[in-house]
Chains A and B, each alone.
Chain A
Amino acid sequence: MSVQFSKDHEWIDSADAAAAVVGITVHAQDALGDVVFVELPEVGKTFAQGEVAGVVESVKAAADVYMPVDGEIVEVNAALRDDPSLANSDPLGAGWFFKVKLSNPAQLDALLDEAAYTAFAQSA
Chain B
Amino acid sequence: MTTASPNLPHFPHAATGASLQTPLHSLHLELGARMVEFAGYQLPVQFAQGLMAEHLHTRAAASLFDVSHMGQLRLVGADAAAALETLMPIDVLDLPVDRQRYGLLLNEQAGILDDLMLVRRSNDFLLVVNGACKRADLAHLQARIGERCEITPLAGQALLAFQGPLAVDVLQRLVPGVGQLRFMDGAAFVWEGSELYITRSGYTGEDGFEISLPDFMAETLARALLLHPEAAPAGLGARNSLRLEAGLCLYGNELDENTTPAEAGLLWAVQKARRAGGEREGGFPGAARLLAQMADPALRRRQRVGLRALERVPVREPAPLCGADGRQVGQVTSGLLSPSLAQPIAQAYVEPPSAAPGTRLQALVRGRRVPMEVVAMPFVPSRYYRG
Chain A residues in the interface with B (C-beta under 8 A): 33-34, 36-37, 39, 55, 57-60, 62
Contacts and interface: CB of A to CB of B under 8 A. Distances in A.
Given A33-B51, A34-B50, A59 B339 contact: yes
Contacts of B337: 36-37, 57, 59
Nearest to A37: B314
Contacts of B366: 39, 55
Contacts of A62: 314, 316
B198 interface: no
A60 B36 CA distance: 13
Interface in B90-105: none
A57 B51 contact: no
B240 to A, nearest CB: 8
B51 A59 contact: yes
Given A59-B337, A60-B45, A37 B237 contact: no
B23 to A, nearest CB: 25
Interface string B338-373: 010000000000000000000000000010000000
Contacts of B313: 37, 39
A36 B345 CA distance: 13
Given A37-B313, A59-B55, 6 more contacts: A33-B51, A33-B237, A34-B51, A36-B314, A36-B337, A59-B241
Interface residues of B, number: 18
Contacts of A39: 313, 366
B35 to A, nearest CB: 13
B312 interface: yes
Interface in B181-223: none
Dominant secondary structure at the B interface? mixed
Interface of B: 45-46, 50-53, 55, 237, 240-241, 312-314, 316, 336-337, 339, 366
29 contacts: A33-B46, A33-B51, A33-B237, A34-B50, A34-B52, A34-B53, A36-B52, A36-B314, A36-B337, A37-B312, A37-B314, A37-B337, A39-B313, A39-B366, A55-B366, A57-B314, A57-B337, A58-B51, A59-B51, A59-B52, A59-B55, A59-B241, A59-B337, A59-B339, A60-B45, A60-B237, A60-B240, A60-B336, A62-B314
Contacts of A57: 314, 337
B28 to A, nearest CB: 16
Nearest to B344: A37
Nearest to B337: A36
A36 B316 CA distance: 13
A67 B272 CA distance: 60
A2 to B, nearest CB: 31
B25 to A, nearest CB: 21
Nearest to B366: A55
A36 to B, nearest CB: 4
Instruction: Please give me the 3 A-B residue pairs with the lowest Cβ-Cβ distance, nearest first.
Output: A34-B52, A36-B337, A59-B51
B178 to A, nearest CB: 31
A28 to B, nearest CB: 14
